Structure 1
């Protein structure tokens, strides 16, 4: 109770820090009055008030430094920072880590300020826990409630003082282990450092997504299980050697501290280590372990010391999972034991308890829920502790290379099993359920989780059991129906007479064209899952012609997911090695590669297509948006259509002047998601009744722009936006253009 109230108070104070000052005297005065009045059962309230005062004092004390950091918003600054977390490689190519500022200010004149900051720099050696770096870059203030008061986008960084002492030993040991693991084969090599020491830099985006979809991502976040293993092993070894209780506890705590330094003090590690330390202390004084009391004490102490933990999803999930194991696992074991063998029920009760309690928290910030998580955890559970223990031993024995190599090889096998379990389970139809993140989704998931718990534990109230069973049946039926409609029956929800389909794949382009038995796909968008969903919904198994208009991520990011399913690839100019790698992967899957420029043409079923832009070997538009392949297609049941890629106004004017665009069009794919940079005369010339705009909801670019929508209306074109209408289908019936949309605008 105290921990829950304090958590809520922490969330309030870190989001509205000006309340911290007045809260301190109010809480203290209230506590003193209750003690003087000696109200019955006032002890709990007094404890809450005192903890609240301590919490407010922490927030108030930190606020001046945080204000000094947020004052650097938008400025180019020089900062001297001490790394306080492990570093991870972001999608922007920067190395990101948390740090404490020592000084910050204009370049050449930093002032002493000690506060939390998030730093992103170009990959640099030596950014280890405890190292001091000098970083120059642009600051950006964070939202209220964020632990880091400022984000620093570094343009230049240097290590001024490498990690020293225990931090240096830990960094060297961890780096040697990661290097050793990198020499092992995949699957499993990249995952092993994450399982053993929580370092996920070697985990690819595909594996990370699979771990998340299968509900196994917690295995790469060092938490209570890892701390418990370390403490138990040391405790057992000292006991085996004849050490007394005090020595066992002392050495276990020492080993736990060393482990925290080795894996870096992330929120879940801090929570778990504090829990383990409290457990050791209760053992030392001869008191029976009280799990919930220890958890509450750990949470309260950590929130008072660092109130910003309250807004950290990892800390919330860690505490919730621990509470679930303490409270729910045993009742679930009894309930499951009625229907299955006890060993199987024991293995299933632990991940199920964590899933039921953590699901509502995940729904607050994640748009997907793992449906296969319990089964995947059941399959991976036996391998996880083996990979963790042996991997940790391989890390610690780095000074003895032959032994470390042997242990790393032994740990690779369970790591490979876990990664295979993740990738296979995540690839199953309906492995995840899409839910809009937020309080509503969390409430729905909480109701379903509570109902499932009641069904399994069988409360005495028959009415309560019936209501819970009804909720579970309805939720299961809806889930199965959704899986079928998104999977085997997806195409049944789509009219069959379509010949043009604009996929709803977010901010990006993916347009299907079908004539007879052949299908073309123009661009793929960035999200493989969204593209796969569109292909399933339209009943598309194979792509006869894949057009990659240009190599921006929002047009080709999902292209490699089609490897092995494409016959011919028509592509725009190749500018970067990454562009060629995409083509090489498609070619390895059996696709024929063909460069596209003016004059390139062909057949798709009975439809004829031709490329009307870019000119061959254009010096003015060598690559990028303005060199997008523009395709004109018509016939074979396909309404005449012009797809403009991401052309800006200048090449649009040249295209219009070339005379290659003429006659009547039924459909135009608006350039660059409806950006403002358009040529009105081109759209007036086209005068297409339907204007497709492939665009994502709430994009940062403001697409489609209001000026573009007004221009389309003036040209007599009806804007069909995927962000508002979802999947947009077009076809011809009796010589008329017919439009179907997934949603009404």
Structure 2
């Protein structure tokens, strides 16, 4: 069909040229010049139309026929690159999966940062990695379409957990902040407190027995700190147990053996489908008795690749293996997302 159209145009051009030429020969000098220019313009316009029969790259052009996988497919960033998020696609959940709870264990290197997205749209952030990880966490939150953080939890004052929280609080609207009642005279902690003050926020104490009013069938209860004094700052970690329907998660910060003993003695509920392994897999945490009480199906270790601490420790990995727990690690798997529909937890 396109070939016939072009032939018809060429015939019309030849007839027009022939008629035009006879007119030019009979016309005066000035008229001949004007007619010649008009004839040349007509030939050029017809040739241009014949060369672009599809009308360009608009709605009916040939570019529209390219499949999305070739013409519009987004680039995917390799896993395990916590400080480079530019090439990642927007990881916000698809609309058809609305109503599910999602827990994103963000890859921030040697540190912790966890985003919990509730079925009703609320967002909880637990820690935000180191100072250097702050911009990464901010970028990740934007990619997950976070417009507001309804609850921010700093598990304890160590820099690899709360270092990036000041940048997050300075960037997003925040509803409520939870911290354990323990001080630490470091620049990172002072910057966090200043960010909280500048936003006009108040700190709510995170301690055993305090619950967070979430709704949407989701319950959240702090089960540590269980006492008012610990020798190790890690044992002050705000440990949160979150349940949705028949599924549960346990977020442990850096809680060590002393905190685990207190939690076991307090008879607080510990059972969880997913355990965030405390202290990046240190051998001084995730003891046998504590692991037996939690009885997780999955465990997530937030840890930096090639870190100087030997995390995760071989003894901790062995205990998890002996308990039949499937282990995920941010140093190997990148950001890890667990999804719950209230009946079961789906891991990658």
TM-score, structure 1 as length reference:
0.33
Tell me which residue corresponds to 2:152: 546
Relative to 1, partners in 2 of residues 1:557 and 1:534: Cα closer, same or farther, differing over 3 Å?
A: same
Following the alignment from structure 1 to structure 2, what is the Cα–Cα distance between the partners of residues 521 and 718? Answer: 24
| Structure 2 residue 252 is the aligned partner of structure 1 residue 653 | no
Match of 1:490 among 72, 89, 95: 89
The 1-side partners of 2:85 and 2:252 are apart by 30
Give the corresponding residue for 2:248: 640
Find out whether 1:725 has 2:333 as its counterpart. yes
Match of 1:630 in 2: 239
CA RMSD in angstroms comes to 2.7
Are 2:123 and 1:512 aligned?
Answer: no
> CA, structure 1 residues 524+687, in 2 after alignment: closer, same or farther (shift >3 Å)?
same
Write the deviation string for residues 151-176 of structure 1: whole angstroms up to 9, x where unpaired: xxxxxxxxxxxxxxxxxxxxxxxxxx
Contact 2:76 2:87 (C-alpha < 8 Å) held by counterparts: no
Write the distance in 2 (CA, Å) between the matches of 1:631 and 1:538.
Answer: 22
Equivalent position to 1:561, from 145, 148, 167:
167
Picking from 245, 256, 277, the partner of 1:670 is 277
C-alpha change, 1:490 and 1:498, in structure 2 (3 Å) is: farther
Deviation at 1:586, TM superposition (A): 2.1
The structural deviation recorded for 1:680 is 1.0
Q: Which is higher, the Rg of structure 1 or of structure 2?
A: 2
What is aligned with 1:503?
106
Are the equivalent residues in 2 in contact too, given 1:666–1:689 (CA < 8 A)?
A: yes
Inter-partner Cα distance in structure 2 for 1:697 and 1:493: 26
2:322 pairs, out of 711, 714, 727, with 714
1:200-219 → structure 2 map (5 Å cutoff)? none
1:239-258 equivalences under 5 Å are none
Partner of 2:128: 524
Partner of 2:226: 615
Closer/same/farther in 2, CA of residues 623 and 703 from structure 1, 3 Å limit: closer
User: Following TM superposition, by how much is the alpha carbon of 1:622 offset from its aligned partner in structure 2, in angstroms?
Assistant: 6.3
Q: Is the 8 Å Cα contact of residues 124 and 149 (structure 2) preserved in structure 1?
A: yes
Counterpart of 1:382?
none
1:563, distance to aligned residue in structure 2 (A): 2.3
Alpha-carbon shift at residue 605 of structure 1 (Å): 4.0
The 8 Å contact of residues 500 and 638 in structure 1, kept in 2 or not, is answered as no
Contact 2:303–2:330 (CA under 8 A) maintained in structure 1: yes
Q: Are the equivalent residues in 2 in contact too, given 1:550–1:573 (CA < 8 A)?
A: no
Which protein has greater RCO, CA pairs closer than 8 Å, 6+ apart?
2
Find the counterpart in structure 2 of residue 20 from structure 1.
Answer: none
**CA positional deviation for 1:504:** 0.5
Q: Which residue of 2 aligns with 1:359?
A: none
Matches within 5 A, 1:362-441: none
Specify whether residues 522 and 491 from structure 1 end up closer, same or farther in structure 2 by C-alpha distance, changes over 3 A only: same
| Contact 2:106-2:113 within 8 A present in 1 as well | yes
2:206 maps to 1:602: no
1:665 Cα deviation from its structure 2 partner: 1.5
The match for 2:10 is none
Is there any run of 5+ residues in structure 2 with no aligned partner, and where? Answer: 1-70, 78-83
Task: Give 1:587 shift.
Answer: 3.0
Cα displacement (A) at 1:638? 8.6
Alpha carbons of structure 1 residues 717 and 732: separation in structure 2 relative to 1, 3 Å: same
Q: CA deviation at 1:498?
A: 5.2
In structure 1, what is the equivalent of residue 31 of structure 2?
Answer: none
Work out the number of aligned pairs and report it.
Answer: 258
Summarize the alignment of residues 269-288 of structure 1 with structure 2, pairs less than 5 Å apart.
Answer: none
Q: CA deviation at 1:481?
A: 5.2
Offset, 1:682: 0.6
Paired residues of 2:76 and 2:89 also in contact (CA < 8 A): no
Q: Please state whether the residue corresponding to 1:523 is helix, strand or coil.
A: strand
CA distance in 2, matches of 1:570, 1:623: 20
Specify the alignment match of 2:198 in structure 1: 588
TM-score by length of 2: 0.67
- Shift of the 718–562 alpha-carbon distance from structure 1 to 2, 3 Å rule, reads same
